[in-house]
Structure 1
Amino acid sequence: MFTPGERDRVRARLLGLAADDEEVTGAAVTGSLAFAGGGDRWSDIDLVLGVRGVPSTVLARWTGWLYGPEFGALHHWDLQAGATVYRVFLLPGALEADLAFTPEEEFGPRGPQWRTVFGVAGPVPDPEPVDPGTPAGLGWHHVLHAAASIDRGRLWQAEHWIGAVRTQVIALACLRLGHPAAYAKGAHLLPEEVTEPLRATLVRSPEPAELRRALAAAATALGREVDRADPALAQRLWPVLVERGGAAG
């Protein structure tokens, strides 16, 4: 496991490479370590690089550096967002380095966790409101698929969908209480009155009876959380959650 000192040295070296790269016009630290006192010993490296021209050219060169002897990358994968490519590297010591390559005209924060190191960043955009109807919709969708998976005898698939229902319950609760909803980043801030019922949604074994028990708990938790956000929607959904999910309406 990497140490914070090792992580900071790698980040400093990457920023040094960015400053020396003529095709990199801006660099920023993002994520939990964007500001002094943020993050912890498990936090990874998050950098955004503004690049001149086509990002793929710079991306290829940097990938060669990361796989070279200095950094010794073990693997990477990409996430595309418009013209921006997020290349996520796994480095020795289980250190994750998330490097975003974005056109220089789009170089700017996507949220509050941003510290410009060099270059000119665009303005901070207003946050887009998240519609609770989306996690509610994903929730009932997952309940239906969990129930169908049990009926078909696809027990491990059912386990997957039951966990996915729980994820949407957590997202709804986070939205309601003003916590970060994406990737369960606010889950640790939820009160016990929300999290305690979710213990029953955990699947203990991939057996039909156990899966139906956990699904019923998940469908019930979903219905109650939807009811807090949109009582009229919850009233329409309860019959389906009871019939297919076994919810306690």
Structure 2
Amino acid sequence: MFSTGERDSIRERLLDLADEDPAVVGAAVTGSHALDGGDRWSDIDLVFGIEGPLPFAMRRWTDLLYRDFAAVHHWDLPSGSVVYRVFLLPDLLEVDIGFAPAAEFGPHGPAWRTVFGHSAPPKDGQPSCPRNLVGLGWHHALHAWTCIQRHRWWQAEQWIAALRGQILALACLRLGHPASHAKNAHLLPPEVTAPLNATLVRALDEAELTRALSAATAALVAELALADGALAARLAATLGDLRDDANRVVDPQIDC
């Protein structure tokens, strides 16, 4: 595992190299290090403003990361005009470098600290849309149920876990916390998170998966009821069929 000293040294070396690169007209630190300094496990998050074609600059920087920093693997995450290239270095250090056209170099949220260059005016980040979170919730519940009917246990477990993520996101949004990637789920009160313990899948069999799906569906409806009672009632009436199927599988007293 990397040390904080090693991580900080690599971040400074990358920024120095960026300052020497004529194609890099701006550089910024993003993520936790731009806000509160991060912690022992924080990775490296940078954004470079690029003058000229992004692919050419990205190829040069990728070669550099492999040659001088012994990168193990990388992949890309596009976001609008910016491409974030995500590198894995030895000792489990992740380095995320966003390559932005020079005109688009600027913050999309509060986690931004310009190191050099001129950044564009801040842009509002795209907030999580409650309608989409709700839609993903019932979508995941329905697909989990379908996978159970098909005896695809692993896929069903994946959808149930994804449904739990949407419930956490809705709760974060309702309580005024950023909703993405469960980053603020630890701030949610116990009365919100405790019921979600029942949504954890403890075994890959039909009875357990249907029980967990029933608990997750109930938790989704309960969360919705706190923000939109009418919508919660409509979805409860429809998703109740999934819970009824779960009860028929779990309860041995009911003749299927």
Normalising by the smaller structure, the TM-score range is over 0.9
Q: Following TM superposition, by how much is the alpha carbon of 1:17 offset from its aligned partner in structure 2, in angstroms?
A: 0.4
Aligned residue in 2 for 1:175: 173
Aligned residue in 2 for 1:2: 2
CA distance in 1, matches of 2:240, 2:118: 54
Give the match's secondary structure for 1:229. coil
CA distance in 2, matches of 1:108, 1:173: 30
Aligned residue in 2 for 1:213: 211
Q: Following TM superposition, by how much is the alpha carbon of 1:71 offset from its aligned partner in structure 2, in angstroms?
A: 0.4
Aligned residue in 2 for 1:155: 153
Q: Following TM superposition, by how much is the alpha carbon of 1:127 offset from its aligned partner in structure 2, in angstroms?
A: 4.2
Aligned residue in 1 for 2:66: 67
The one-letter amino acid of 1:61's match is R
CA distance in 1, matches of 2:148, 2:11: 47
The one-letter amino acid of 1:217's match is A
CA distance in 2, matches of 1:128, 1:29: 20
Aligned residue in 1 for 2:200: 202
Asked if structure 2 preserves the Cα contact closer than 8 Å seen for 1:85 and 1:102, the reply is yes
Aligned residue in 1 for 2:29: 29
Q: Following TM superposition, by how much is the alpha carbon of 1:11 offset from its aligned partner in structure 2, in angstroms?
A: 0.1
Give the match's secondary structure for 2:146. helix
CA distance in 2, matches of 1:29, 1:151: 48
Aligned residue in 2 for 1:191: 189
Aligned residue in 2 for 1:54: 53
- 1:186-232 CA distance string (max 9 Å, x none): 11111100110000000000000000110010000000111112111
Asked if structure 2 preserves the Cα contact closer than 8 Å seen for 1:147 and 1:158, the reply is yes
Q: Over the residues paired in the alignment, what is the CA RMSD in angstroms?
A: 1.3
Alpha-carbon distance change, 146 to 2 in structure 1, aligned in 2, over 3 angstroms: same
Q: Report sequence identity in percent.
A: 59
Count of aligned positions: 246
Q: How does 1:29-178 map to 2 (within 5 A)?
A: 29-35=29-35, 37-68=36-67, 70-178=68-176
CA distance in 2, matches of 1:53, 1:162: 44
Asked if structure 2 preserves the Cα contact closer than 8 Å seen for 1:143 and 1:245, the reply is no
Aligned match for 2:233, one of 229, 232, 235? 235
CA distance in 2, matches of 1:62, 1:171: 35
Asked if structure 2 preserves the Cα contact closer than 8 Å seen for 1:52 and 1:103, the reply is yes
Alpha-carbon distance change, 128 to 85 in structure 1, aligned in 2, over 3 angstroms: closer
Q: Following TM superposition, by how much is the alpha carbon of 1:134 offset from its aligned partner in structure 2, in angstroms?
A: 1.0
Asked if structure 1 preserves the Cα contact closer than 8 Å seen for 2:128 and 2:179, the reply is no
Alpha-carbon distance change, 60 to 135 in structure 1, aligned in 2, over 3 angstroms: same
Q: TM-score if structure 2 supplies the norm length?
A: 0.93
Alpha-carbon distance change, 88 to 153 in structure 1, aligned in 2, over 3 angstroms: same
1:16 and 2:11 correspond: no
Alpha-carbon distance change, 96 to 129 in structure 1, aligned in 2, over 3 angstroms: closer
- 1:37-83 CA distance string (max 9 Å, x none): 42100000000000001111110000000000x20000000011222
Asked if structure 1 preserves the Cα contact closer than 8 Å seen for 2:128 and 2:180, the reply is no
User: Any unmatched runs of 5+ in structure 1?
Assistant: none
- 1:135-184 CA distance string (max 9 Å, x none): 11100011111111111111111111111110000000000011111011
